[in-house]
Amino acid sequence: MSEMENESLENLTASLVRIESITGNERAICSYIEDLLVSKRLGIECERIGESLVVSSKLKESLPTLGLIGHLDTVPGVGVGDAVRIEENRIVGLGSSDMKGGLGVMLKLILDGIFSNSRFNLIFVFYAGEEGPFEENSLHELFQRCQKLKTLDFVFILEPTNNDLHLGCMGLTNAKVSFSGKRAHSARPWTGDNAIHKAGEFLMRMSEFKPQKVLCNGLEFYECASVTLAQGGIAVNVIPDSFELNVNYRFPPGVGLADAQARFKAFVGDGAEVLFERNHPSCEVFDEHPIIRELLARFSLNKLPKQAYTDVALFSEHGIAGVNFGPGLTSQAHQSGEFIEIDALYKSYEIYRGFLN
């Protein structure tokens, strides 16, 4: 990294966006961050675990321990390397909002000496595999191998939130709903049993299912379910004997995974088989936590529900409270031509620096 790249938050962030780090290919960006921090001789510990990095200093028993958490990976796409550009108030490139802007804020805080000046113990986690299957998220491995994570009292997830506080998060499960029939020639359909037709009543009820508003500590979350994939039929002249739908079901804070799945199976009824996969827990709203109350009082931040899943729920599963707060634009996540606003980077940086010092 050149001195020019290190001198400003926007250049530091742009350098991260230039490094391609699609899920499964996080090695280069993890090594980049590790090499940079080690070269600066900041008196901090950098623990490399796979393609993730845990950064900390000596923990003092008298201080609470806070974590700043950011994933290194992006969804597939273009907009890396020389395609990344800074134009006016924007950094344009893949993952700029989700969530390399957050990584840039984290990295800049470390380089500017936050570990020496903070009123908290700090642990910064740069991790792999968030955008892929939940079971392959590297946070699972980190909790097994890095005992320091178990000392955390509270975490900030720097996912894109428009610099608003996003409390809690939705859980989700993907239900594979399978309908069975009997194969036959389409010229004599009465000799078979059309599996696609058997799904008609269920699809009608799905089309009529409206998002259900659920209040959690005064915040409005929306329980919702959508058919996202359909597969059936083998030829244009064959009555299909199987038809499979994927239903993406989002459930609110306060609802456990087992309860959510039982609720959905009851909705499906006896006409189909249901198999659940790619499951993510919900996370409660920690609006009365002292950290959140102080942030709201000092910085006049908006308090909103997180109508999506984030890994704040994974930390909650380990008994650690947290909140989503980052500089990225929620509307830009996973978009073609993704960008982040430079002003938002600096706002996030100043809030974190002011709060942690």
Is the Cβ–Cβ distance between 135 and 79 less than 8 Å? no
pLDDT in tens, 72-128: 999 999 889 999 999 999 999 999 999 999 999 999 999 999 999 999 999 999 999
CA distances to 29, 207, 266 from 271, in Å: 48, 17, 11
With residue 273 as reference, give the H or E element that holds it: strand 273-280
Which pLDDT belongs to residue 1? 40
pLDDT in tens, 311-338: 999 999 999 999 999 999 999 999 999 9
Can you tell me the distance from the alpha carbon of 247 to that of 319, in angstroms, rounded to the nearest whole number? 30
The 3 state secondary structure assigned to 14-27 is: HHHHHCCCECCCCH
Which pLDDT belongs to residue 5? 43
Can you tell me the distance from the alpha carbon of 218 to that of 73, in angstroms, rounded to the nearest whole number? 33
Instruction: State the burial class of residue 268 (Cβ atoms within 10 Å of its Cβ: 0-12, 13-18, 19+).
Output: middle
The b/e string for 191-219 (b: 16+ C-beta within 10 A; e otherwise) is: ebbbbbebbeebeeebeeeeeeebebeeb
Is the Cβ–Cβ distance between 92 and 337 less than 8 Å? yes
Which pLDDT belongs to residue 2? 40
Q: How is domain 171-280 classified at the CATH fold level?
A: Alpha-Beta Plaits (3.30.70)
Domain ranges of the chain: 3-168+283-356, 171-280
The CATH architecture of the domain made up of 3-168+283-356 is 3-Layer(aba) Sandwich (3.40)
Which pLDDT belongs to residue 161? 98
- With a cut of 50, say whether residue 261 has pLDDT above it: yes
Mean of pLDDT values over 143-165: 97
pLDDT in tens, 285-313: 999 999 999 999 999 999 999 999 999 99
pLDDT in tens, 158-201: 999 999 999 999 999 999 999 999 999 999 999 999 999 999 99
| Portion of the chain with pLDDT greater than 90, in percent | 97
Which pLDDT belongs to residue 79? 86
* Nearest Cα to Cα of residue 336 among 21, 94, 3, 43: 94
- With a cut of 50, say whether residue 140 has pLDDT above it: yes
Can you tell me the distance from the alpha carbon of 38 to that of 235, in angstroms, rounded to the nearest whole number? 60
Can you tell me the distance from the alpha carbon of 352 to that of 347, in angstroms, rounded to the nearest whole number? 9
Is the Cβ–Cβ distance between 94 and 239 less than 8 Å? no
Which pLDDT belongs to residue 78? 87
- With a cut of 60, say whether residue 3 has pLDDT above it: no
Which pLDDT belongs to residue 7? 73
With residue 54 as reference, give the H or E element that holds it: strand 52-56
- With a cut of 60, say whether residue 151 has pLDDT above it: yes
- With a cut of 60, say whether residue 4 has pLDDT above it: no
- With a cut of 60, say whether residue 6 has pLDDT above it: no
Strands 154-157 and 65-71: parallel
Instruction: State the burial class of residue 300 (Cβ atoms within 10 Å of its Cβ: 0-12, 13-18, 19+).
Output: exposed
